């Protein structure tokens, strides 16, 4: 009888652990990858990194032929000097005509001189912007890493052509690692934001420690695809046993044991615990007592562990209509230029 009771208790504890406890073998290490693309086009003349090399943010990955961009910068500087000289001459001419004020100097010629100076100023400002753009483009011939991380799957070589906007180098961001645990929907009621998490990688005994950061609020639904006349296509279910959907739970890593490498894609067994102690593993006796308590006096799902979301968009949901800037008249853009155009010449 004692053996039967012990076997029954053991079966209940195992059932509670495998069915209701928040743990999953379906976890994986995740990371953000920066796909680096050049902002200017050209032939690659230098490569400063190798595959799997660690680089710091701002380090040069490769260099695009800078000759064309040096020429454009020199041309922009020459155009800027020309525009500056033209603006200075026309500004002085306008000021001189405005100061004369005799009969020979009509208001029309004064306004024309002021308008020419105004146009020369606009040309000068545009030339300044062109020079700034040329300087930036020359700097962009050195393609730099935007993050700290490892260069991965490097396939480029010197002599390749790098078109602007096309990624050709991938850098794994080592500051962005996290763990995704895919928990069954039946266990979501026992998961709380901030719970302590232990993720054990295959081949390593020491677990990675972390905390529950967020819970995904949506997964793909197979019955959501539209069919004839745009109506939803719902597939009939003939099975008696329905498999629980799995929901991704994001784990923020707080501690990585020495000797445990973080490699994106590795498989992890994720276990969530309510205690916030720094112990890697709990006392086995405490685990048995907690399991018996859950079997004979199961705790209800903790409310407000996951922030609630209000469904629906509300009545009359709509997006605001975009509006552009109101049109401006020439007088609003350049006030004070045309008044007095038809006035009589002034005497000294």
Q: What is the mean pLDDT of residues 289-303?
A: 55
100 pLDDT exceeds 90?
no
- Weakest mean pLDDT among 25-34, 159-168, 325-334: 325-334
Helix (H, G, I), strand (E, B) or coil at 290: helix
Give whichever of 118-132, 266-280, 296-310 has the largest mean pLDDT. Answer: 118-132
Give whichever of 88-97, 173-182, 323-332 has the largest mean pLDDT. Answer: 173-182
Instruction: Give the pair of three-digit tokens for residue 39.
Output: 């902002």
Higher pLDDT, 238 or 143: 143
Higher pLDDT, 334 or 226: 226
**pLDDT (tens digit per residue) in 326-345:** 766 665 666 665 555 545 55
- Predicted pLDDT at 279: 47
- Predicted pLDDT at 281: 46
Give residue 200's pLDDT band: very low, low, confident or very high (50, 70, 90): very high
- Domains of the chain, each with CATH number or no CATH: 19-31+175-296 (2.40.30.170), 38-65+143-166 (2.40.50.100), 67-140 (1.10.287)
296 pLDDT exceeds 60?
no
CA–CA dist 263, 211 (Å, integer): 19
User: Average model confidence (pLDDT) for the chain?
Assistant: 81
Helix, strand, coil percent content, the chain, rounded in steps of 5: 35, 25, 45
Measured at the CA of 189, the angle between CA 192 and CA 217, to 5 degrees, comes to 75
State how far Cα 317 lies from the chain centre. 28
Q: What is the mean pLDDT of residues 30-59?
A: 95
Higher pLDDT, 256 or 317: 256
Helical (H) or strand (E) element with 87: helix 67-100
Q: What is the mean pLDDT of residues 129-155?
A: 94
312 pLDDT exceeds 90?
no
Predicted TM-score (pTM) of the model is: 0.76
Q: What is the mean pLDDT of residues 293-312?
A: 61
- Weakest mean pLDDT among 238-242, 294-298, 333-337: 294-298
């Amino acid at each position: 009888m004692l053996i039967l009771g012990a076997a029954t208790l053991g079966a209940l504890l195992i059932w509670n652990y495998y069915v209701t406890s928040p743990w999953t073998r379906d976890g994986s290490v995740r990371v953000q990858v920066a796909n680096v693309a050049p902002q200017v086009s050209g032939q690659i003349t230098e490569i400063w990194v190798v595959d799997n090399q660690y680089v710091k943010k701002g380090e040069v990955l490769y260099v695009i032929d800078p000759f064309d961009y040096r020429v454009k910068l020199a041309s922009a500087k020459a155009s800027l000097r020309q525009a500056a000289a033209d603006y200075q001459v026309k500004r002085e001419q306008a000021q001189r005509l405005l100061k004369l004020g005799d009969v020979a100097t009509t208001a029309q010629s004064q306004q024309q001189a002021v308008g020419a100076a105004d146009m020369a100023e606009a040309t000068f400002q545009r030339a300044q912007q062109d020079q700034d753009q040329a300087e930036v483009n020359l700097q962009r011939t050195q393609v730099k890493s935007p993050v700290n991380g490892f260069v991965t799957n490097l396939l480029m070589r010197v002599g390749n052509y790098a078109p602007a906007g096309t990624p050709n180098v991938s850098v794994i961001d080592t500051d962005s690692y996290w763990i995704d645990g895919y928990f069954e929907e039946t266990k979501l009621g026992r998961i709380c934001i901030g719970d302590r998490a232990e993720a054990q990688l295959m081949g390593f005994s020491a677990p990675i420690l972390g905390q529950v950061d967020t819970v995904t609020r949506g997964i793909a639904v197979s019955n959501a695809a539209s069919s004839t006349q745009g109506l939803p296509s719902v597939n009939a279910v003939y099975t008696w046993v329905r498999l629980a959907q799995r929901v991704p739970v994001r784990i923020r890593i707080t501690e990585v044991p020495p000797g445990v490498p973080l490699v994106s894609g590795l498989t992890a067994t994720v276990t969530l615990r309510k205690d916030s102690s720094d112990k890697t593993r709990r006392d086995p006796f405490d685990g048995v007592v907690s399991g018996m308590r859950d079997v004979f006096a199961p705790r209800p799902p903790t409310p407000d562990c996951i922030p609630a979301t209000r469904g629906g968009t509300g009545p009359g949901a709509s997006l605001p209509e975009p509006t552009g800037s109101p049109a401006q008249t020439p007088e609003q853009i350049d006030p004070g230029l045309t008044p007095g155009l038809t006035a009589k010449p002034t005497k000294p």
